[in-house]
Chains A and B, each alone.
Chain A
Amino acid sequence: MAVNDIPALQPPARAPLASRMLGHRLFRPLAALAVLLLIDFLLIPGFFHLEVRDGHLYGALVDIVNRAAPLMLAAIGMTLVIATRGIDISVGAVVALSGTVASMLIGGTMVMQDGVPVYLADTPMLVAIAAALGAALLCGLWNGALVAGLGLQPIVATLILMVAGRGLAQLLTDGQIVTVYYQPYFFLGSGYLFGLPFALFVVAVVFGVTALLLRHTALGLFIQAVGINPVAARLAGIRTAALIVFVYVFAATCAGMAGLLISSNVKSADANNAGLMLELDAILAVTLGGTSLAGGKFSLAGSLVGALIIQTLTYTIYSLGVPPEVNMVVKSVVVFLVCISQSDQFRQLWQRRRA
């Protein structure tokens, strides 16, 4: 890095605005999102229509952003893991586990108050949420310990929790779907604050705190260093093991929050199906956002855009009346294309052709 800094001592000739925009790492994801939105604008009537009803903002755009919230949370966590050359495929299992814990603790008992049935929480909601996030945190500690402590490959280390996590959640619920009756809990996933979905504020706070941590402390630099060369980072005095554990704990906690949003939105916890394949979508969102799977180069904002691209794509496919099953084929083709276009070999081919 230091070598690259030297020419910067003289003020560099500023590239023209257009080429700087084209070269920006967010350009490609944003362009992809713009193209998708343009298609929606042309094909779906009233796509950009927003209206205020009962003091809430309604419309397709709000719907997309709201539904993308759990994925955005999972993607923020996944970004840091992938930035350290790791991968976390236990995200879906953690979502199921945290949603189950929260739903079971809250439950809801019907009590008659002045002749009106009112549901009371079995456990105070804050305690239940803390317990759910605590469970997620433990999952992250487990993953981190396996990766950093035992030195297992991340995909195998997190595979263990992916297999066993859902089993544990089913064990807790005895295989049943747990229904929640306690009203205030629903606010998390389907409530509105200042006319916007509450889930959005959760995402905004998590994103803001993470971005601040990465930019204004050395954390971002350390993560990048570990991703670029773990051995060199350790020799340079970075506590690599602690950092890796932190990253997995952070990812699992994000997944835990996603689990709360999902279970609150559907007012129940389904240990078998909650967050199914969410890990794949999260990896896809991170990749689409321009984070390199080889570690080191990452973009938090890019991952959010990636999550929005995926959700917009899903929405488009549904509203165009295309069978939703096509979604998987489209997603897989997108992953192939993005990965191939990121690879050095492809770039060399491309440059040779141009030269």
Chain B
Amino acid sequence: MNVRVLAKAPSFTSLVTVALLVAMLLVGGALYDGFLSLQVLLNLLIDNAFLLVIAIGMGFVILSGGIDLSVGAVLALATMIAAWLLQVAHWPPLAVIAFVLLLGAGFGAGMGAIIHYFRLQPFIVTLAGMFLARGLCYLISIESITIDDPLFVAMSQTQLPFFGGFLSPGALIALGMLGLAIWLAHYSGFGRAVYAIGGNETSAAMMGLAVGRTKVLVYALSSFCAALAGVLFAFYMLSGYGLHAQGTELDAIAAVVIGGTLLTGGYGYVAGALSGVLVLGTIQTLIAFDGTLSSWWTRIVIGGLLFVFCVVQRVMAFGKK
């Protein structure tokens, strides 16, 4: 296959991302000792497990042509409710997790219903949802609540052996979720409906697809993912706090776009979330390994990458016409 054909293939941006990831890892390996060890790569997954789960949910929303700005706040709310139920109400941990996940899905379904039935723009509804979720966090407590539940502590400390390195249970859950999401997106009726709505909502409705139900489910799925990410975040940080994960929604959108999903909806791979998240994680690791670059470089580089990928998407869209 020659280069021109490849550049016109729809999966081109996804391939660029994977190439970029490999290049960044190789550059890191050349510059810093010990960068290219298995454990550094596994740590990428461990540290970004929650972001991966959020990006999966965001991937579905963007595929359907919408956007969800509330995910970071829902994550914080999930950690807060989980911490409060565990520490103050003394619920059993499994019941807490189930409750938080259900609540997340319900929250998203509510936003989806408002978006669909009142024909409001997704960004304003989810923006309000973000305010609501963060506000509710502070209603529970302004302070951070530390979690000392045995199950949560065990989850944060367990190291599962993995080809000579180790993974955390949270990272495994995130990978499991990714597998489930790939099946959902590419092998289920729901996934096909999401792609169809993202392509053109009117024609999806004319084809007889359940547009309303699918849209509500998409937002429910996104908030469910955010709540699951909250549980993983609680495993990771062992605390609930209203200020957790500020700005994560932007990282998630960036990860999805970098992973090759079209912002206009209808085109992309859910698996792209993994490469997008790993690229973001690698940037952070590179900056940490360098030691002289300050943390704000992360934001500048992410902004720059977002810009480059948006431009590539647009140029490809023009090329098609």
B128 in the interface (beta carbon within 8 A) = yes
A159 to B306, CA, bound (A): 9
The answer to whether B311 and A167 touch across the interface, beta carbons within 8 angstroms, is no
B250 in contact with A162 (CB, 8 Å) = yes
Extra inter-chain contacts (19) besides given A175-B294, A329-B131, A336-B128, CB under 8 Å: A155-B67, A156-B310, A161-B303, A163-B306, A165-B303, A166-B299, A167-B297, A167-B298, A167-B299, A293-B121, A323-B139, A326-B138, A329-B136, A330-B135, A331-B131, A333-B132, A335-B128, A335-B131, A340-B118
Known contacts A155-B123, A156-B310, A339-B118; A163 and B128 CB within 8 A of each other: no
Q: What residues of A have a CB within 8 angstroms of the CB of B120 in the complex? A: 293, 339-340, 343
Bound together, the chains give a CA A340 to CA B120 distance in angstroms of 8
The answer, yes or no, to whether B264 is at the interface (CB within 8 Å) is yes
Instruction: Contact check, A167 vs B250: say whether CB atoms are below 8 A apart.
Output: no
Are B307 and A160 in contact, CB atoms less than 8 angstroms apart? yes
List residues of B whose CB falls within 8 A of some A CB. 67, 114, 117-121, 123-125, 127-132, 134-136, 138-139, 142, 242, 247, 250, 253-254, 257, 263-264, 294-300, 302-304, 306-307, 310-311, 314
Contact B135 A150, beta carbon cutoff 8 Å:
no
Shortest Cβ distance from A345 into B: residue: B118
Residue positions of A touching B, CB distance < 8 A: 87, 146, 150-153, 155-157, 159-168, 170-171, 174-175, 280, 283, 287, 293-294, 323, 325-333, 335-336, 339-340, 343-346
Least CB distance, A86 to chain B, in whole angstroms:
12
Q: Whole-angstrom distance between the alpha carbons of A159 and B67 in the complex?
A: 12
Tell me how far the C-beta of A191 lies from the nearest C-beta in chain B, rounded to whole angstroms. 32
Residue of A150, A160, A166, A328 near B134 (CB, 8 A) is: A328
**Is there an interface contact between B124 and A287, defined as CB atoms closer than 8 Å?**
yes
Main secondary structure of the interface of B (DSSP, over half): helix
Name A175's contact: one of B127, B134, B296 (CB within 8 Å): B296
Give the contacting residue for B139; candidates A87, A155, A283, A326; CB below 8 A.
Answer: A326
User: For A328, what are the chain B residues with a Cβ–Cβ distance below 8 Å?
Assistant: 131-132, 134-135, 138
Flag if B127 contacts A167 (CB, 8 Å): no
Q: Which residues of B contact A323 (CB under 8 A)?
A: 138-139, 142
Is the pair B304, A164 in contact by a Cβ cutoff of 8 Å? Answer: yes
Docked CA distance A344–B297 (Å): 45
CA distance A351 to B119 in the complex (A): 17
Most chain A Cβ neighbours within 10 Å, of B119, B124, B263, B294:
B124
Distance between A193 CB and nearest chain B CB, rounded to angstroms: 35
Which residue of A has the minimal Cβ distance to B300? Answer: A167
In the complex, the answer to whether B296 meets A170 with C-beta atoms within 8 Å is yes
**Chain B residues with CB below 8 A from A333, complex form:** 132
CB B291 to nearest CB in A, in angstroms, measures 15
- Chain A residue numbers with a CB within 8 Å of B142 are 323, 325
When distances are taken between beta carbons in the complex, the residues of chain A under 8 Å from B314 are 150-152
> Which residues of B have CB within 8 Å of A161?
303
Most chain A beta-carbon contacts within 10 A, residue among B247, B250, B295, B303: B303
Residues of B within 8 A of A287 (CB): 124
Q: How far is the CB of B65 from chain A (nearest CB, A)?
A: 10
The interface residues of chain A lying within 8 Å CB-to-CB of B250 are 159, 162-163
**Nearest CB of B to A171, in Å:** 6
> Are B310 and A152 closer than 8 Å at their CB atoms?
yes
A217, chain B: closest CB distance, angstroms: 30
User: In the complex the two chains form, what is the Cα distance from A343 to B302 in whole Å?
Assistant: 36
* Bound-state Cα–Cα, A310 to B138, Å: 19
Q: Is the CB of A159 within 8 A of B253?
A: yes
Q: What's the least CB distance linking A298 to chain B, in Å? A: 15
Known A159-B253, A160-B307, A336-B114; judge A329-B124 contact (CB<8 A): no
Would you give the shortest CB distance from A352 to chain B, in whole angstroms? 14
The 16 listed contacts between A and B (C-beta, < 8 Å) are A87-B123, A146-B310, A156-B306, A159-B250, A159-B253, A168-B300, A170-B294, A171-B294, A293-B124, A294-B121, A328-B134, A336-B125, A339-B120, A339-B124, A339-B128, A345-B118
